[in-house]
Amino acid sequence: MTEPKIIFEDEYILVIDKPHGVVVNRSETQKEETIQDWLSIRAGSNKTNKTNSTNITNEIYDKTKEYYERAGIVHRLDKDTSGVLLIAKNPEVFANIQNQFKEREVVKEYIALVHGDLKEKLGRTNFVFTIDAPIGRNPRNRMKWAVVEGGREALTIFNFQFSIVKDQGCFSLIKCKPKTGRTHQIRVHLTALGYPIVGDPLYLGKKIRTMDLEWCPRMFLHAVKLGITHPVSGKEVVFESSLPNELQILVKN
């Protein structure tokens, strides 16, 4: 597994730059070579920082089991998505940050390259647009998610950056700011719009995906920014990750 880069660390949180192609949490189908395994090795034989506080609320007690099961990993990034990932170092911090996600107080920003010219579709440049469409399991393929009636609320704000013309066609670079945290949310919303992400192994057809891999080595989706209220200091903190080199080179003019 590619070693994650540490973006920030203090006594309470660890922020890493997750490489693409790495699964975050262990599962029945993925039991090694995960970020969770890396954290266990780093901590030493699955040791985790335990809290000594005597002022733990019932909410934090309820979160303790989940904290240890997930090795403090507060949120998820898809296997093929790279970028900022946050880990809590004790159950109190874990509960605090998860609550910030629940209350939509966390700032999340991704960069994606998609098929098609969004400028042409919307008729103007430097625009911001919103997709507010519920997401649930795709009834025709349970491995996928889709915009479906009766799905869970999902809201994403997009900001068009610029178009790119290549031999393979026209593409658009966009910033994506999910306000909710549904599985594959950005990928599903863009696919539903008709502008799927370049290199997406699940939501692109096999032919287009194969063509993408001839010039783009991976799915072009990267978590560039994560902002939270520090659970102890109370200060607003923002963590950032630049586009990896293999993606930067594809969008340089």
Positions annotated as catalytic residues are 78
Q: Give the Cα separation of 15 and 33 in Å (integer).
A: 19
Label residues 157-180 b or e (16+ Cβ within 10 Å = b): ebebbeebeeeeeebbbbbbbbbb
Q: Concatenated DSSP letters for 132-193? A: E--EEEETTEEEEEEE-TT-B--EEEEEEEEEEEETTEEEEEEEEEESS--TTHHHHHHHHH
Q: Give the Cα separation of 135 and 146 in Å (integer).
A: 5
Q: 159: which residues sit within 8 A by CB, 6+ positions away?
A: 127, 128, 174, 175, 176, 177
Structure tokens at 172: 């658009």
DSSP tag of 226: E
- Nearest CA to 225 out of 11, 77, 30, 36 is that of 77
Is the separation of the CB atoms in 214 and 205 below 8 Å?
Answer: no
- Nearest CA to 1 out of 72, 79, 76, 71 is that of 79
